[in-house]
Amino acid sequence: MRGLRDEDFDTVPASDGATALRLATTAISAVVLDIGLPDADGRDVCQAMRANGFLSPVIFLTAHHRLSGFSAGGDDYLPKPFHLTELAARLWAALKRTAPPPAATAGDLVLDAVRHLVTVRGVRVDLTPTEFRLLAALMAASGGVVRRRELVRTGWHEGAHVHDNTLDQYLTRLRRKLREAGSDRTIATARGIGHRLS
């Protein structure tokens, strides 16, 4: 902890998975997570964070199981033992890659990635974390087609087995929520290619 403070990071300690989960709901910019926590597997903690909508980078510390951290939703891993300067460099790089964009707009639709909020004409639209990520990908394409495989990569953690009909169900629910909110935007299908916000 002190070493990261010396590298200009403000740190908040969490000695177990339950504390890490609780803290991940606050304004945390990144998480350094040991896979071997006393009360839980760090990969399970990361999956729970992602399921709760936590979008900030997660870097795993691990003595083994290196690649399994990616399938759990981690952004990077550092094998033990490690040098503190390398951890700091990886944290800075992860933070640069994931710097939140300003609120995105498409017609009457506003997506605020920092507050994890979608509104239609100022009224909040309740979305699941997966629906939020799918909508963010569609809005980022500025009306262009987003391929189905890219939507799957965006919506679910790496290694997740997502069937075509699962993606279709999420998009159907997202269309319905936008329609019920009175949005002038909908999700159009480009057959055999992907989807776009129109």
- Alpha helix positions (H), the chain: 2-6, 17-23, 42-51, 68-71, 84-97, 129-140, 148-155, 164-180
Q: Which tens digits make up the pLDDT trace of 35-56? A: 888 998 888 888 888 878 888 8
Tell me, yes or no, if the pTM score tops 0.95.
no
Region for residue 16 given its phi and psi (left: phi exceeds 0; alpha: psi -120 to 50; beta: otherwise): beta
Residue 62 in this model has a pLDDT that exceeds 90: no
Any idea what the CATH number is for the domain that residue 124 is in?
1.10.10.10
Asked if residue 170 lies in contact with residue 134, where contact means CB atoms within 8 angstroms, the answer is yes
pLDDT average, residue stretch 51-64: 83
Are the C-beta atoms of residues 43 and 36 closer than 8 Å to each other? Answer: no
| 19 plus 51 within the same structural domain | yes
Q: Check whether the bond before 81 is cis (ω within 30° of 0).
A: yes
Does residue 87 share a domain with residue 15?
Answer: yes
The residues, any chain, with a CB within 8 Å of residue 95's CB and separated by 6 or more, are: 29, 30, 57
Q: Is the dihedral of CA 15, 13, 77, 128 positive or negative?
A: positive
Strands 194-197 and 146-147: antiparallel
CA distance 135 to 118: 9
Shared domain for 74 and 123, answered yes or no, is: no
In this structure, are 53 and 89 located in the same domain? yes
Domain boundary among 54, 70, 97: 97
The pairing of beta strand 31-34 with beta strand 58-62:
parallel
% of the chain exceeding 90 in pLDDT: 36
What is the tens place of the pLDDT at every residue in 88-146? 999 988 888 876 566 788 999 998 876 778 999 999 999 988 898 899 889 988 889 99
* Residue that the structure tokens 């606050």 belong to: 26
Does one domain contain both 72 and 143? Answer: no
Domain residues for 111? 104-197
Ordered DSSP codes for 165-188:
HHHHHHHHHHHHHHHHTT-S--EE
Q: CATH number for the domain including 66?
A: 3.40.50.2300
- Which tokens hold the place of 93? 């790089």
